[in-house]
Chain A
């Protein structure tokens, strides 16, 4: 069975600084997809970034980028130039052919002014 582990329950970062959130996963499959979702307080989850396992190039979306290490089964999220609006729960998710997501327990990120 696949598992997703986020080992940082809470993190904080100063506005405009860079922060990296960790995620590791376990699977025996070769083809899968990884996602980072953001859940702001009392608001719905939105996709931040996704990575296809067959792509070696790390995904980037504006201030958000990932460090995908397939052999190590690691998928970290880097947020550059942190903004107050980045304050949220961040969930790492794994998805394969069954289409359902398997989520980690989340990292609560607080951006400090």
Chain B
């Protein structure tokens, strides 16, 4: 079990550029979540998938954000036309099954800096 992995770990981009992040969940986990964490704050929910279906999206996920999970395995989060306010740590998590008590396992995050 290699845990949840995210790539890249750090991304610096210029305002207006597009960026894409990847998350590889624990292999048998059918649920995958994206969160955003800004400095001094707790993680905020962005979206989640059950297998390949995107079941919930936060109001934080503007039209510039899109997430996919093809074939119910890895997931990508794309931000188009980045803004300085998008600078944050983007966390991915995965969990097994449909029970609320199942813990979510978090990846190390991708730190995005928009200049």
Contacts and interface: CB of A to CB of B under 8 A. Distances in A.
Contacts of A45: 43, 91, 106
Interface residues of B, number: 23
Contacts, number: 55
A101 B107 CA distance: 15
Contact of A95 (B4, B40, B100): B100
Interface in A56-95: 91, 93, 95
A100 B56 contact: yes
Given A99-B48, A100-B48, A105 B56 contact: no
Given A47-B103, A50-B101, A97-B100, A103 B44 contact: yes
B85 interface: no
Given A52-B101, A91-B42, A100-B56, A44 B107 contact: yes
Interface residues of A, number: 28
Contacts of B106: 37, 44-46
Interface of A: 4, 6, 31-33, 35, 37, 43-47, 50, 52, 91, 93, 95-106
9 contacts: A4-B42, A35-B103, A44-B109, A45-B106, A50-B101, A97-B100, A101-B35, A101-B104, A105-B42
Interface of B: 3-4, 31, 33, 35, 40-45, 48, 56, 91, 95, 100-101, 103-104, 106-109
